[in-house]
Amino acid sequence: MNQSGILDLVPVDVRNQWIMNGTYPNKSLYQLFCEKVQIHPDKLAVVSLEQTITYEQLQYRVACLAASFHSLGVVAGDVIAYQLSNSWHHCAIDLAAAALGAIVAPFPPGRGRLDTQSLLSRCDARVIIVDSKFVQMDVCEMIESLRPGLLSLRILVVNGEARDGWHTLESLYQSKPIASNHLPDVDPGWPVRLLISSGTESNPKWIAYSHNALAGGRGRFLQRICPDGGSFRGLYLMPLGTAFGSTATFGVLSWLGGAVLVLTQFDAGAAIRAIGELHPTHIFGVPTMFQRIAADPELARANKSSLIAIISGGAKIDEASIRRCTEAFRCGFISLYGSADGVNCHTMLDDSLDTILHKTGRPNPDVCSIKIVDDHKREVARGQIGEIAARGPITPMQYVNNPELDARYRDEDGWVYTGDLGFIDEDGYLILAGRKKEIIIRGGVNISPAQIESIAVSHPAVVSAVCVPVADHDLGQRICLCLVMRDGAERPSLAQFTRFLLDQGLEKNKLPEYLRYLRQLPLGPAGKVDKRRLTAELESAQFIPGPDVLNQAVSSIQRAH
């Protein structure tokens, strides 16, 4: 057991194999970063539309911050939680913690009081660093109100104006840089970052990653899509505090030696400006973000010559959106199937468009092996649908302070069971076939929202589509289809859109009963569509279907957001 008390559920001999064959660097992430500084001190490390910082400048700030943390009593195994808008501060905090053997636990802005309390208590955070305000919320005030119930929390840091009982982040950068001989020896097998994931659980969960798993797993994933790591310029549209954003500091800076490009928060216009001015080679985002950018006429006028690929992850992307994005961005498209739980599979730039449209890529054992199992966790034959299980250098250590989840999703050999369904085809490609829990049950019939959404978004006037359940005392659940249309496009009635869905081959028993138009789909803190919020809003609406909804096509709900 390491200093934090976090266990590694992957057997020691399996981890040692990845060290022996060179998959793992077996160095701390701070050590790897310092090696990159030695190679190119003046190279830009973190770039935004507002400011830039070089590798050498970042290293100096990291050393100052580590000195301040050390003087405040932070030691190896302590957890430093933070909730900040995207900037170079993320990278500085990550690296300062790594230098001390501490653990970072970032989570994106937008998490409310209950989630924040659950997250901080679950990880036993000793330090919390926050922006002073988010939207209209006084974040410091919220943290102060939670503090009596957070016994481990001792150090409060605000990125903003000074206030009683709080250190300012700026003041922590004023310390004299810590000398390298005052840093502890950090074991690369220790935990260094907790990734946040809501998954299908009611509360968000933390998942612990070691130095080796982040560098030799998530970092090696980046290296596979950009073998010339030093030329990598990754634009992160989503918050760096998400699991999808976790490759930024330790993957791009510590492993590749590339540049991290960030937006303070996602906006289609700002993203297009960043493409033209910051010259990214790769862009990371979730489908809804790419759908919004591709629908913006300004993208056609932006300089996109630097782009090599966009990487879409976080949720399954439909065929129509892939086609629109490849046409609009005029670069390669990589579809990523991954999760905070240690799952990774993706298409490659040399895959055909047909492969990208219908498959998830070939599993790469140097990052993550994948097998398909039945309900008894026995591996099934190639071509047979079953649950997707994963294990590889990217595999995390364990869920933090949550043995119930460890028991549910992990086994004694270190395999992670995803709850996703899929199969491996004859060419070795993984093909997704749905998710066990993401279904709408109407009158005892299981209906996949993804299938309806995929057909709906193929409509030429539709930008985004999502299906959510509506509670019904008779059938249990009914289906509401929520659509975002292109600017100026006509909004079809439910009857008209039902006809479109039927013409595209959707079975009659899967047709939605309700249609709702929105200006934008609400996004959660991670940048994904917030289906819970949509569902909650629909619960307060008055839905009164007729006696034969599917045949009579009840009137649509057209409430603008």
| Tens digit of each residue's pLDDT, the chain (561 residues) | 577 789 999 999 999 999 999 999 999 999 999 999 999 999 999 999 999 999 999 999 999 999 999 999 999 999 999 999 999 999 999 999 999 999 999 999 987 787 899 899 999 999 999 998 887 789 999 999 999 999 999 999 999 999 999 999 999 999 999 999 999 999 999 999 999 986 545 568 999 999 999 999 999 999 999 999 999 999 999 999 999 999 999 999 999 999 999 999 899 999 999 999 999 999 999 888 999 999 999 999 999 999 999 999 987 888 989 999 999 999 999 999 998 999 999 999 999 999 999 999 999 999 999 999 998 999 999 999 999 999 999 999 999 999 999 999 999 999 999 988 999 999 999 999 876 666 787 866 668 788 899 899 999 999 999 999 888 766 778 899 999 999 999 999 999 999 999 998 887 888 999 999 999 988 887 777 888 888 888 776 655 444 333 333 333 333 333
H-helix or E-strand containing 312?
Answer: strand 309-312
Distance of CA 514 to CAs 150, 179, 421, 478, 549, Å? 44, 64, 28, 8, 9
Closest CA to 3 of 192, 182, 154: 192
Distance of CA 342 to CAs 208, 309, 434, Å? 10, 23, 18
H-helix or E-strand containing 420?
Answer: strand 416-424
Q: In a 3-state reduction of DSSP, which class is residue 127?
A: strand
Crossing angle of helices 494-503 and 449-456, rounded to 10° = 100
- Structure tokens belonging to residue 282: 């790769």
H-helix or E-strand containing 139?
Answer: helix 139-146
Give the strand pairing for 155-159 and 44-47: unpaired
Torsions phi, psi of 231, nearest 5? -90, -5
Q: What is the DSSP letter of 475?
A: T
Residue located via tokens 């303070």: 264
Residue located via tokens 């809003």: 537
Closest CA to 506 of 436, 453, 435: 453
Angle, CA 235 vertex, CA 229 and CA 239 arms, to 5°: 120
